[in-house]
Amino acid sequence: MPSFPLFRLMLCCIIFLQVLPACSSLPVYSAPPQGITVKPCTGITAGAPFAPDPLGTRLAIARDGITLFDVSTGKSTRLSSDDPQAVAWSPDGRRLAVVLGGEGGSRVRIYDTTGTVLGSTTGPGAACALAWHGNGEVLIASLELKAYSFGANYRQLLLRWDGSAPPVTTELYNSTLRDKVHKTLAPILDRLFTVALSPYGDAIVYARLQDPPAFSPHLRFIVRNLVTGGEREAASATVTSGGAVFGGHDDVIWYGDGETETVLLDPWQEQRLSTLPQPGSSLAASPGGMTLFVDGRLYQNGRLLLTFPPDAAGTFSADGTRLFVRQSDRLYLVSGLPPDPAPPVPADKRERLLTLRQWRSNGLITPAEFTTAAEGGGHP
C-alpha cells in the first residue's frame, strides 16, 4: 500500500496520461466549460469553405470537390468534383448554393442533397460570397475588376438569383483602386467583400473597399435595405477586418475593426454597445447574436468560453447550439451551446416592422421615430 502522497502523485500521473492524448488532438487552449464539448469532426482542404446545414447535422465541405459530411454517422457523400469557393445552405436545408471557380469567371450552382444540379448561372464578375434570401432566392456578392495601367476599376455587385431566370444585378459600388493598392490587395479582394443577411431578411451588411487618394485603403460597412436600396454607412475598419455580421436581436451588427477590437454597434443610433478585445479578422455570430466566435475565441454574452488558435474560422448552426470550427485542415464541432436562434418576429408585427425599416432606410423617418413606431406607436 503506497503512502498517501505517493498515491496522490500516481493519481495525478494517471489523470494526466488520460487527458493528454485528448487535449493533444484538439487545438483548444483551455478545458471547455461544463456542458460544452469539443470533438474532431472531419478533414477539409485548408482554408476552404464549409457550411453546416440549418440543423447542424450535415456539413457541406470542400474536400476533393464538394462533399456532404454527416456529423452523426461520419459518412461522406461527394456531390461534385468541382472545388467550391463558397457554399450556403437554403434555410430549409434542402438545397445548397455553391460558387465554383473556372476559366472565364465563376459559376454559381444550386444542388439538392443528392448532387443533382437544380440551377446554374454565370453572372457578371467573380462571385465572392453567398447568402440565401428565404428558400427561393440566392444573394450573390460579385466583384468585377478591370485592370488598367493606372490601377483598376473596382465594381461591387449584388446579384439576386431565383435559381432559374438570369440573376438581377445591382451595382453596390463603383470606384477606382490605385495600381499599387490593386496589386497589393489582389489576392484577398474576394475575401474582403463580405455580405451578411439580416435576421429580418430585408437588409444586408456588406463591406465596401475604399481607396481614397490621400489615405490608406480601408473597409466601410454598409447596411443596405434590399427593398428600397437605401444605404447607411455603419462603421469603417482596416482591410484586415473579417467583416460585419448582424448581431441577432434588434438592428445591431458585430464588426471587427481589424486592429484592436470587435464592436457591437447600433448603426441607426450610432452607438457602440459593447466591445471585445479582438481585431475581428475572423468573425461568426450565432443567429441570435448571443454567442460570438472571433479570432478563435468563443464568447457568450461577453464571457470567454473557449480559445482556439487565432486563425480558426467558425460557423454556427441555425439554432446556435453548435459551432463548427475550421483549424488548418481539420473541422471540429463545439456542441452543447445554449440555443440562440434568430429572433422571431411576431407575424402580426412583421409587415409593420418591415415597412418602418424601409422608411428608415430611405431617411423618411428618424431612428427615434422608428423606435417609437416599432414599439407600437404613441405618435401625437
Partner 1 sequence: MIRPFIALAMMHAAVSVATAAPIGDCLPCHRGETPAAVRQWEASAHARAGVGCEKCHGFDHEKIVKGEARVTMMACAPCHKRAYDQHHRSRHGMGLHTGWGCTRGQTGRNPQECSFCHEEGSRAPLTTVQCARFLKQSDEMRGNGCNSCHSVESSCASCHTNHGTDLKIVRDPASCAKCHMGPDHPQWEMWQTSLHGTIFATIGSQSGPTCQTCHMAEGSHDVSVGITKNSGSIPYPPEKAGPSRAAMLTVCSRCHAPSFARRELERDDAILRQSLSVLKEAEGVVWDLFDRGMLDPMPSQRPPHPVSGQTLVTDNQMLYEDTSHIERLLFKMKKYDYARTVKGAYHQNPAYTHWYGNAELKMDLVDIKAEASRLRERGEKQPAGTEKMSPAAERGERLRLLKKKLERGGITLGDYEREKAKVLQELDGATTRKE
Residues that bind partner 1 (CB under 8 A): 348-349, 351-352, 355-356, 358-359, 362-365, 369, 373, 376-380
CA distance 67 to 85: 13
CA distance 125 to 184: 20
Integer CA distances (angstroms), 227 to 160, 161, 167, 204, 261, in order: 12, 15, 16, 11, 32
**Residue 187: partners with Cβ closer than 8 Å, 6 or more residues away:** none
Residues facing 266 on adjacent strands: 271
Integer CA distances (angstroms), 53 to 61, 223, 316, 335, in order: 11, 26, 10, 15
In the complex with partner 1, the residue whose CB is nearer, 250 or 369, is: 369
In the complex with partner 1, the residue whose CB is nearer, 95 or 360, is: 360
In the complex with partner 1, the residue whose CB is nearer, 330 or 352, is: 352
CA distance 216 to 210: 9
In the complex with partner 1, the residue whose CB is nearer, 23 or 364, is: 364
In the complex with partner 1, the residue whose CB is nearer, 191 or 350, is: 350
- The CB-of-212 to partner 1 minimum distance in angstroms stands at 25
Integer CA distances (angstroms), 366 to 3, 128, 129, 204, in order: 76, 34, 32, 20
- The CB-of-313 to partner 1 minimum distance in angstroms stands at 40
- The CB-of-379 to partner 1 minimum distance in angstroms stands at 5
- The CB-of-360 to partner 1 minimum distance in angstroms stands at 11
CA distance 148 to 166: 29
- The CB-of-249 to partner 1 minimum distance in angstroms stands at 21
In the complex with partner 1, the residue whose CB is nearer, 273 or 365, is: 365
In the complex with partner 1, the residue whose CB is nearer, 118 or 365, is: 365
* Cell representation of residue 223: 447596411
Query: 38 in the Ramachandran plot: left (φ > 0), alpha (ψ -120 to 50) or beta?
Result: beta
- The CB-of-358 to partner 1 minimum distance in angstroms stands at 6
- The CB-of-100 to partner 1 minimum distance in angstroms stands at 38
CA distance 163 to 207: 25
CA distance 108 to 128: 10
